[in-house]
Amino acid sequence: MNAMSGAGVDADAIMAMLRAETDAWLRRDFDALADCWVHSPQSRRLHSFASTGVRVDEGWDAIAAHIRKVMQRHPTPSAFEGRVRWENVNIVVDGNMGWVTYDQIGLEDITDMKRLLKVVHRVDGGWRIACLSVMQSIAEQSSCPLIQVDRDAHVVWVNGQARDRIREHAGLVVSGGRLLARQRARRSQLRETLRLAFDELDAQVPLNVSPRQDWAVQLGADDSAEPLFCWVLLEDGKVMVSFDHADMVERHVAGAEAVYRLSPAQARLARLIVDGHDLSSASEVLGVSINTVRTQLQRTFDKTGARSRSALVRRLLSAEPPNR
């Protein structure tokens, strides 16, 4: 658990109450959980999950009814220890009111990450929850691998796609809990790009009004001399690293098409080259002769300034899409 802001007697009491509430939820102990809530018509419980959408329970009676129903449907108890951990805990206390934000990450399944906000009131000398907002990270629903890292490249969280594929990735490796480029010569570039991403995140520019931020990082080449890339991006208000990201590749190739003024035929060939096709397989996919492919490739070289297929891939994926 991260160090808390707002440390003090009240913060300690609030944390103890929140721990008891979460423990009661996991143990399926309704009475213990109810003791942690303000029983008021003004109490609120808000959920946002990718699988079920948004739900708002208004007033303690509605909250209690929903909790009872979930506990009856899923009665198997578990314990806090070994099940979840809390990260990025922040507590603010002002008189008889406080609020707490934190990330809750599953230990048995690291892809289970939720972001919580709890508003608490002091009632009869003790702290109770008045409002709960919990959101499932949308990053888990991504179709591409995503790995959340901290400033020192320590892995905080991974989604299912990344967990299944990172072990075999030719350009990235997790070592000592940190995400590194496999080739030592490439590690400084990944480290510098992560620093840039965190600086951008710290600027606090709302992501809904600023362009999507992502950076391509070269990881060297695989055994077939094909360039390897990963992407550092801002997603869900966090710094993530992605790889094998087809949508990102498509967006950057589309941007390169505009930047270098590639023809439609040249752009189609460029996409195949990025995907690892050689000239022979590209000619089969495109349904044209290999001489035509060579001509298109040379014209693409001329427009981009590349002199090899690997250099072309680097130019295409590093091109900044228009209107960034």
Spell out the SS3 assignment of 191-222. Answer: HHHHHHHHHHHHCCCCCCCCCCCEEEEEEEEC
Looking at the fold, whether 266 and 180 belong to one and the same domain comes out as no
> How many Å apart are CA 313 and CA 189, to the nearest integer?
18
Domain endpoint, select from 88, 114, 136: 136
Between 15 and 199, the more confident residue is 15
Among 188, 220, 244, the domain boundary falls at 244
Whether 280 and 165 map to the same domain: the answer is no
Picking from 247, 211, 208, the residue whose alpha carbon sits closest to that of residue 322 is 211
Q: Mark whether 157 and 130 lie in a shared domain.
A: no
User: Are residues 111 and 13 part of one domain?
Assistant: yes
Strands 146-149 and 126-136: unpaired
The verdict on 15 and 132 lying in the same domain is yes
Statement: residue 282 has pLDDT above 70: yes
Residue 4 lies in a domain: no
Length of the chain (residues): 324
171 and 114 assigned to the same domain: no
**pLDDT tens-digit readout, 137-189:** 655 556 688 899 999 999 988 888 888 889 889 999 999 999 999 999 999 99
Whether 253 and 267 have beta carbons less than 8 Å apart is answered as yes
Q: Report the alpha-carbon distance of residue 317 to residue 149 in Å, rounded.
A: 22
Asked whether residue 1 is assigned to any structural domain, the reply reads: no
**Number of domains within the chain:** 3
2 lies in a domain?
no
Q: In which residue are the tokens 């907002």 written? A: 133
Q: Which helix (H) or strand (E) holds 115?
A: strand 113-123
Mean pLDDT, the chain, rounded, equals: 84
- What pTM does this model have? 0.54
User: Which CATH number belongs to the domain containing residue 303 in this structure?
Assistant: 1.10.10.10
CATH number of the domain enclosing 168: 3.30.450
Last residue of a domain, one of 93, 109, 136: 136
Structural domain containing residue 314: 248-318
119 and 25 in one domain?
yes
Q: Are residues 233 and 261 in the same domain?
A: no
172 shares a domain with 161: yes
| Mean pLDDT, rounded, for 299-311 | 89
Number of other CB atoms surrounding residue 2 within 10 Å: 12
Structural contact between residues 165 and 145, judged by C-beta atoms closer than 8 angstroms = yes
Distance (Å, whole) CA 235 – CA 245:
14
Same domain, 262 and 229: no
Torsion sign (Cα): 204, 207, 210, 215: positive
Distance CA 140, CA 146 (A): 8
